Structure 1
Amino acid sequence: MTECNKIILLTATTLFPLASLCHGACVEVDSDTEAVANQGFKLGCISCKMRGEVPATAAVNWYFKASDDDEFSHLYSYEDLIGDVIDPRFYERLDWNGSKQTKDLQDGSIYILNVTYNDTGTYQCRFNRVLMYPNYEFQTNASKTIIINVVPRLTRGMASIFSEVMMYVSIIGLQFWLVVEMVYCYRKIAAAGEEALRESAAEYLAIASESKDNCAGVQVAE
């Protein structure tokens, strides 16, 4: 593969991400930790299955400890495609927001409606997963702890703003470099094509001239 072909391929993969190939990928992203009062909030909890080729089932349980509580209370349970709100403080305010239409759960997120200041506290998300091998079953457990703070309005730290700005600068810089490289490759290919045409024309003229000389020699000989 030539250098220009590599650049064109890199451009295509940069500008048009292969979403179809990444659709089934699992990435453990940390949950947001700042909720806004009187708005909805997603409590994220992802536990990726390490052996993707092995069938499995999983149950997810959430626990909550308010800022003035001493112990965790059972908040929510999801198993066999059925969710159950257990803590009365969250009745009619909580819904499942994780993996859909599958018992092989990897996303155990939940969504809280109409967040109140009383929702400030520590949340625990616990995965109980059973891997089903041909001759036996293997149980694994995973847990994540999330500390949520409820605020009047959403704030952003300088680190978050700086990271976002740098991300956009990097994307723009990369795309500009790719455009420059593509223009260079186009000119290089065009120049090579013109050179090939000139060589073909010169070769044709040389053949024609040689044929004319041969014909003239034949006539003199006669």
Structure 2
Amino acid sequence: CLSAAAMMMKMMKMRRLLLVCVFCALSVSLCSGACAEVDSDTEAVAGEPFKLGCISCKMRGEVEASATVDWLFKARGEADFVHIYSYDGEASSIIDERFQDRMEWHGSKKTFDLQDASVDLLNVTFNDSGVYRCIFNRVLSYEHYEFSTIATKLVPLTVVAKGTTTPDICVSITVFSVSTLFVLQTFFFNYRKYLAEYLAIASESKDNCAGVQVAE
């Protein structure tokens, strides 16, 4: 028959394990920058800078990868997309003269494993209205082979004289909320798991005690 002290020790051990799991989840979510795909804002103010957001997360974070990014633009009233910008993890290139000195990389830094391909559009003009296409050319590196994928995002942009753009803090809150949801899911999953183990131990202890009493 398990004593009260032994039961308490087992409960404390399970609580420590649960806290470790929660800490690990928080570390992955907040410290290592868990990837969350958040849509770009779509309204810019003329004369001000604007962030064209584009995020494409890998399905499996542990797989090594490299990527290059291309931005295309289709102006309002035009039929075709035009290549305007590219980035390879080290250097960027502005291809269309309409955007010369007006586009800056605002995505993943110090890595070839690009998942955030956001760019800053400086000194926005009304002619910047249209649809932007962000293209990830990604190579996933497995032990014995490589696999190429292409991910595409579209950002329709409207330029106004006086806008109602979403503040950056709202985007940050959205990203944080996604990460927090992941942490809470992990917490409750492990809580239910260890609660079930505790109930099983308690039931076993009760049965053992009953068996000892009958034997006596």
TM-score interval, normalised by the smaller of the two chains: 0.5 to 0.7
* Greater RCO structure (CA 8 Å; 6+ sep): 2
**Do the aligned residues in 1 keep the contact of 2:64 with 2:113 (CA within 8 Å)?**
yes
**What RMSD in Å do the two structures reach over aligned CA positions?**
2.5
Counterpart residue number, 1:22: 30
Partners of 2:28 and 2:34 within 8 A in 1: no
State how 1:77-116 maps to structure 2 within 5 Å: 77-116=86-125
- The alpha-carbon deviation at position 154 of structure 1 amounts to 1.8
Residue in structure 1 matching 2:143, options 117, 134, 146: 134
The amino acid of 1:154's aligned partner reads G
The Cα shift of 1:51 comes to 1.4
Q: Distance in 1 between matches of 2:114 and 2:29?
A: 20
Match of 2:62 in 1: 53
In the alignment, structure 2 segments of 5+ residues that lack a partner are 1-10, 174-216
Deviations 1:143-165 (A, max 9, x none): 011100001112269xxx9xx9x
CA distance in 1, matches of 2:126, 2:51: 15
Equivalent pairs, count = 148
The one-letter code sitting in structure 1 at the alignment partner of 2:120 is Y
What letter corresponds to residue 76 of structure 1 in structure 2? Y
Residue 134 of structure 2: which of 125, 128, 147 is its match? 125
Aligned-pair CA distance for 1:20? 6.7
CA shift in 2, pair 1:39/1:133, >3 Å = same
- Measured after TM superposition, the shift of residue 68 of structure 1 is 2.2
**Structure 1 residue 81: Cα displacement:** 1.2
Change (3 A) 1:50 1:68: same
- The sequence identity of aligned pairs, in percent, is 55
SS at match of 1:131: strand
Q: Deviations over 1:26-49 (max 9, x none)?
A: 000000000000000000000001
Distance 1:33 1:130, change over 3 A: same
Q: For residues 1-222 of structure 1, what are the structure 2 equivalents within 5 Å? A: 18=26, 21-23=29-31, 24-155=33-164
SS in 1 for 2:104: strand
Q: Do the aligned partners of 2:89 and 2:114 also contact (CA within 8 Å) in 1?
A: no
The residue type paired with residue 45 of structure 1 is C
TM-score normalized by structure 1?
0.61
Offset at residue 21 of structure 1 (A):
4.1
Q: Unpaired runs of 5+ in structure 1?
A: 165-222
Q: What secondary structure, in the 3-state scheme, does the structure 2 residue paired with 1:22 have?
A: helix
Q: What are the Cα deviations for residues 148-199 of structure 1, in whole angstroms up to 9, with x where unaligned?
A: 0001112269xxx9xx9xxxxxxxxxxxxxxxxxxxxxxxxxxxxxxxxxxx
